[in-house]
Amino acid sequence: MAEKQASFGLKLLSLWTVFYVLLLSGCGTGSNYAPIEDRSKIPFSFNKHHIVSRGETLYSIAWRYDLDARGLAATNHIAAPYLIRPGDKVLLNDQAKVTSAVTGSAPSAVPRLPKASRKSAVASTTKQTVSYKEATSVTLPKGYPFRWQWPAKGRVIKSFRGTAPQHKGIDLHGVLREPVLAANSGTVVYAGSGLAGYGKLIIVKHGESYLSAYAHNSKLLVNEGQLIKVGQKIAEMGDSGTSTNHVKLHFEIRRDGKPVNPESLLPKRR
CATH code of residue 121 = 3.10.350.10
Q: What is the pLDDT of residue 69?
A: 93
d(CA 182, CA 229): 7
DSSP assigned state of 108: P
The helix (run of H) or strand (run of E) holding residue 248 is: strand 248-255
Reported as a single tens digit per residue, the pLDDT across 230-268 is 999 999 999 865 555 689 999 999 999 999 999 999 999
The helix (run of H) or strand (run of E) holding residue 135 is: none
Q: Does residue 169 sit in the same domain as residue 259?
A: yes
Q: Does residue 191 sit in the same domain as residue 224?
A: yes
Q: Does residue 72 sit in the same domain as residue 167?
A: no
Q: For position 241, which CATH number holds?
A: 2.70.70.10
- Kindly state whether residue 253 falls inside one of the protein's structural domains: yes
- Kindly state whether residue 1 falls inside one of the protein's structural domains: no
- Kindly state whether residue 198 falls inside one of the protein's structural domains: yes
Q: Which of 190, 180, 169 is nearest to 251 (CA)?
A: 169
Domain containing 169 equals: 156-264
CA torsion sign for 230, 70, 158, 188 is: positive
- Kindly state whether residue 218 falls inside one of the protein's structural domains: yes
User: Structural domain tally of the chain?
Assistant: 2
Q: What is the pLDDT of residue 170?
A: 95
Reported as a single tens digit per residue, the pLDDT across 27-44 is 444 333 333 333 344 444
Query: What pTM was estimated for this model as a whole?
Result: 0.68
d(CA 156, CA 133): 31
